Structure 1
């Protein structure tokens, strides 16, 4: 039965997800259109090299000339992760708490379905939609690199895309868990964005503030964008952490959802 709920939710969200794919694809395409200008501009390269090392780490601008370095700095180190996290939190909070605040959840649970099936379907819907966004980003990034004659490693591009998608999954799953446990859309959204901001500040400031370096392991951004997969030996352990953390958040919220009165 939960598969029927999954497909129904995917049909409901398909237009929103499609427009997000279109918007992200346009951004990726425009970014690659500017790559030849950046590649052939020695002044820009020298400017980046003069920046303090800590600032370059914060901005993800270690290398703007190589295809991988440009893709990381322009796409995967900042704007795409933040944008995808916004999508994930928005979708996660609305998955259960949104229906509950609008009075649709009681009617839905009056059908021959269990709360566990509903939670599984909404969690799977979040994961599938994020996967679709990831496929769109990867396809346009690979095509854009090819069109501007950038020799971009496909396996490393796939890894970079997976990292940012799993970041959005983890924080989106936390938002879903908060909405499921509390039934309050505003509260879940506020807490999820506060967590996102706090952990992002820890990650972004840790290169410049030594006292924060030991705390960066609590930030999901450290596991997703702490190291560029385009440089050095790729490491997929961070992705495993993000995947499991998102699933654990939903599982921890399930008992509260099963116990509480809906709509109160």
Structure 2
């Protein structure tokens, strides 16, 4: 039954997901359109190098001219993950708490479906939608780079795309779990966005604030954008951490959902 719920939710959300994919594709394409100007202008590289080290590290601008460095600084270190997070949190909030607020959840559970199957179907729907957006980012980034004669390592680009997608999965799963456990979409989105902001501030300020350095690895942003996959060795450990974190959060929501009175 969960597979039918998955197909139904994907069918209901496909138009919204495709519009988001189109928006991401346009952003990535426009970003690559400016790359020849950056590559061919030494003043831009010199300006980036004159920035304080902590600022360059916070915004991923250690290398702003190479294809990988440009992609990381302009897309993967901030704007792409934030965009994907917004999509994931909205979708996670809507998944169950949104249906409950609008009175549809009771009708769903009146069918021959368990609460566990419903939660599984909605969690997988969120995951599949994020995979679609992550693949969009990967494909359009690769095509855009080739159109401006920029060489990107395929494995490193794939890892960067996977990490920002799994960051969105972890935070979208948190919104889904809070909404499932409380039945309150406003609370789910508010708490998740508050956590996201706090986690990002810890990550971005830790290079400058000594007291935050020990907390850096607690932030999910550290595992997604703490180190650029376009530099150094390719390491998939961080991606597994984010995948596991999101999955565990969803599983932790199961007991609360099973014993909660719906619609109260």
Q: What's the TM-score bracket when you normalise by the shorter of the two chains?
A: over 0.9
TM-score by length of 2: 0.99
Distance 2:32 2:244 in 1: 33
Aligned twin of 1:254? 254
Paired position in structure 2 for 1:54: 54
Q: Could you list the runs of 5+ residues in structure 2 that have no partner in the other structure? A: none
Unaligned runs of 5+ in 1: none
Q: CA–CA distance in 1 between the matches of 2:132 and 2:259?
A: 33
Per-residue deviation at 1:59? 1.1
* Secondary structure of 2:7 counterpart: helix
**2:43 match:** 43
- Pairwise mapping of residues 98-247 of structure 1 onto structure 2 (< 5 A)? 98-247=98-247
Matched with 2:20 is 20
Structure-1 separation of matches of 2:151 and 2:257: 49
Q: CA deviation at 1:138?
A: 0.6
Equivalent-residue separation in structure 2 for 1:65 and 1:246 (angstroms): 34
- Deviation track 1:44-79 (CA, whole Å, cap 9, x = no partner) reads 110000011000001111111100000000110000
Residue in structure 2 matched with residue 80 of structure 1 by the alignment = 80
Aligned residues: 264
TM-score (norm 1): 0.99
RMSD, aligned CA? 0.5
Moved over 6 A (4+): none
How far 1:200 moved relative to its partner? 0.4
Query: What's 1:263 paired with?
Result: 263
What displacement does 1:227 show? 0.2
